[in-house]
Amino acid sequence: MIPVIMSGGSGTRLWPLSRKLYPKQFLPLSGKQTMLQETLSRLSGLDTQSPLVICNEDHRFIVAEQLREAGVSDSEIILEPTERNTAPAIAVAAFHALKNNKKNDKDVILLVLAADHEVSDIKAFHDAIKIAEGLALDDKMVTFGIVPDHAETGYGYIKRGVAMGDRGFKVDAFVEKPDLQTAESYLLSGDYLWNSGMFMFKASRYLEELKQYRPDIFDACSHVVEQVDRSFDFIRLDKEHFSACPAESIDYAVMEKTKDAVVVPLDANWNDVGSWSALWNIHQKDNNGNVLVGDVLTEDVVDSYCHGTYRLVAAVGVDNLVIVETPDAVMVSTKDRVQDVKKIVEQLNKANRDEPVVHRKAERPWGTYDCIDKGERFQVKRIVVKPGGTLSLQMHHHRAEHWIVVKGTAKVTKDDKTFILSENESSYIPIGATHRLENPGVVPLEMIEVQSGSYLGEDDIVRFDDTYGRS
């Protein structure tokens, strides 16, 4: 069994904590581990091969670092150059698994999981997977249906059909998100399960069904896997070929059409953490029904979610609110309107603002930078370079930079000179100068960078050489 972790979401419903370039699966929303790391850790105890993670190319270094932090050293990471939905992504994983399976097993099974779900009952999760594995070995196309505990209008449903002994049910129908009255009738009937978006089947069976029902996706993905680039520890898909593949979900492409769809009920305290109210639901609350994260003070506050990341958050005399603070944005909503956060994100995108895309503090393969101040023609960043970290050899057309070492040791390349800067020393990088920053030490290098010029965007970087394959 090969776990296939789908990590391509953008996470707009959990803005401002979740951003396009740092979505919710990379955040520690319910514990110390990130959601991606929790997804990997709950596989412990199952007989699986190394996981295969599929993610957006922009997220590649975040995924690699979080896998390293989780102690997962033998996984593979497939990079999607553009979003094509789940059917093509899983097809690529199936082709890859059959082609590269170390055991040369034609019956290799794929366990397809989302990277951004919460599952707290691990035993129930494992039990359902073992049931599904037997069905998959019998050539069934398995999906996992969440046993509902309330009438939910935000999920699609699966109507279960004839029972298959104690191993699940044949799928009678996939149902779109219902209105409240319909959802209540589903709950009362006991015949409907929430569609989890998790699956299990043989890689060969998935491709057989895909070829039958969507030969265009099958053909496109078969060409894509022949053109992969394996440089820099990633599996890069050819952009031209992958972009030509139709975008379609696995539900529409295969699961709603196949005659072998079966559903295994899963009652494991599952949550897709699709909104701030969902996050409030899964957290432990204080005596007033509040979830308080970070530096938060309250007075006469009930049934609220307050999350501070940078500053003190104080709330007085409110109830049923969500308050989320980040260094560059504050979001306030009633819990019953949190689905409309995406409308704020839409407004920000139309205004071409940075807030829906990146955090003020950005992760890079060499470390981090935090934009601590900016104004007309200047920007100040706090830069931290990991031991051994190396920025690209680069130049800028529109800005000059002043570097001041606060802690650690910096190795600086400036045109044809290379020299060392120690704490409290500085250097000036003029416009057009070829330069590079490295940390040759064993402790993090902390610096202040002052940029000045007519244009300060991150796209004013010409890379000549890069350790991480970005040049």
Domain match, 434 and 367 both = yes
Domain match, 400 and 313 both = no
Contact 410, 403 (CB under 8 A): yes
277 occurs within a structural domain: no
Which structural domain, as residue segments, surrounds residue 443? Answer: 361-465
pLDDT above 90 for 247: yes
The average pLDDT across 95-123 equals 87
CA 335 vs. chain centroid, Å, equals 24
- Write down the mean pLDDT value for the chain: 93
Share of the chain above pLDDT 70, in %: 99
Per-residue model confidence as pLDDT tens digits over 410-442 = 999 999 999 999 999 999 999 999 999 999 999
291 occurs within a structural domain: yes
Please give the angle made by the CA atoms of 4, 7 and 11, to the nearest 5 degrees: 150
Domain match, 317 and 419 both = no
Number of H helices, E strands in the chain: 11, 29
CB-neighbour burial class of residue 210 (10 A; exposed 0-12, middle 13-18, buried 19+): buried
Domain match, 84 and 178 both = yes
294 occurs within a structural domain: yes
Q: What is the pTM of this model?
A: 0.88
Most confident of 23-32, 354-363, 440-449: 440-449
pLDDT above 70 for 471: no
Domain boundary among 229, 245, 271: 271
Domain match, 137 and 267 both = yes
Handedness of CA 117, 242, 234, 110 (dihedral sign): positive
Per-residue model confidence as pLDDT tens digits over 328-355 = 999 999 999 998 999 999 999 999 998 9
The average pLDDT across 132-153 equals 94
Domain match, 9 and 146 both = yes
What's the confidence (pLDDT) of residue 104?
60
Per-residue model confidence as pLDDT tens digits over 364-408 = 889 999 999 999 999 999 999 999 999 999 999 999 999 999 999
pLDDT above 70 for 102: no
The average pLDDT across 240-253 equals 92
209 occurs within a structural domain: yes
In residues, how long is the chain? 471
276 occurs within a structural domain: no
Distance separating alpha carbons of residues 238 and 247, to the nearest angstrom? 16
What's the confidence (pLDDT) of residue 338?
92
Domain match, 378 and 433 both = yes
CA 214 vs. chain centroid, Å, equals 27
Cα maximum dimension of the chain: 76
How many Cβ atoms are within 10 Å of 342's Cβ, its own excluded? 15
What's the confidence (pLDDT) of residue 235?
92
What's the confidence (pLDDT) of residue 401?
97
412 occurs within a structural domain: yes
Share of the chain above pLDDT 90, in %: 81
